[in-house]
Amino acid sequence: MTVAFGGTFDPIHSGHLQAARTAAQRLGVPRVLMIPAKVPRLREPPHASASQRFEMLRIACESDPVLAPCDVDLLRQGAETRTIDTIEQLSGRAGSHVVWIAGNDAIRNIARWHRPSDLSKQASLVVLNRFVTDQSRTPEGFGETDDPHALLETPGLAYWPPDSMPAISSTAVREALRRRDFGELRVPREVIKYIDMNGLYRD
């Protein structure tokens, strides 16, 4: 069984890390793949390059045995990230469907994803409550469940964990970095060092 958390991670912050750990605990799985999107289709282009975002993710997960950086999307040919392509590649490797973790701000736009009708055949969803109040809207084609373990048994289910993802946004983190305001940053220290050494998020 493959459990994966897809996102831009521009940059990775403690909200992402905590949400992934919580999902692993609730699902009872030993590992979550952390997959940065190469070129998100429905968001503005990332501020950091794909390789820089992956390196920050690698640094953030280095000492956590539960979180495993995965560059499957970065290595795929093609100009845009398409979640269904990533899910199909992962499910083919594992021989089973994928449990995909994403924020409800992304899931609310699932109808605009590439081949949305195929998602429920290949994946179940863990939907994180992030800044959007309509988290109870189940995506078309998915059935809602209160049992996280059911996601491991069958595709086509959606689960909203009661623990919301911490109210931290990458946008706010980038703004704090631009101001050089490190006091309240919720970013791993070694990631901040990498950002500083590479002059990221200064414009």
Residue 167 in this model has a pLDDT that exceeds 70: yes
| pLDDT at residue 31 in the model | 97
* Structural domain count, the chain: 1
Is 186 contained in some domain? no
- pTM given for the model: 0.91
pLDDT band at residue 164 using 50, 70 and 90 as cut-offs: low
The count of other CB atoms within 10 Å of the CB of residue 35 is 26
Section 127-147 average pLDDT: 78
**113 located within any domain:** yes
**Ramachandran assignment for 38, one of left (phi > 0), alpha (psi -120 to 50 degrees), beta (any other):** alpha
* Mean pLDDT of all residues in 29-50: 89
Q: Which domain holds residue 144?
A: 2-165
| The pLDDT of residue 42 is above 60 | yes
* Inside any domain, residue 43: yes
Task: Give the model's pLDDT for residue 94.
Answer: 77
The verdict on residue 85 lying in a domain is yes
* pLDDT the model gives residue 79: 65
Domain harbouring 22, CATH code:
3.40.50.620
Averaged pLDDT, 18-41? 93
Q: Which residues contact 73 (CB under 8 A, 6 or more apart)?
A: 6, 35, 36, 37, 38, 81, 85, 86
At 26, the pLDDT band (50, 70, 90 cuts) reads: very high
**Looking at the predicted structure, is the pLDDT value of residue 44 above 60?**
yes
Neighbours of 71 (CB within 10 A): 15
Per-residue pLDDT band at 184 (split at 50, 70, 90): low
Residue 179 forms part of a structural domain: no
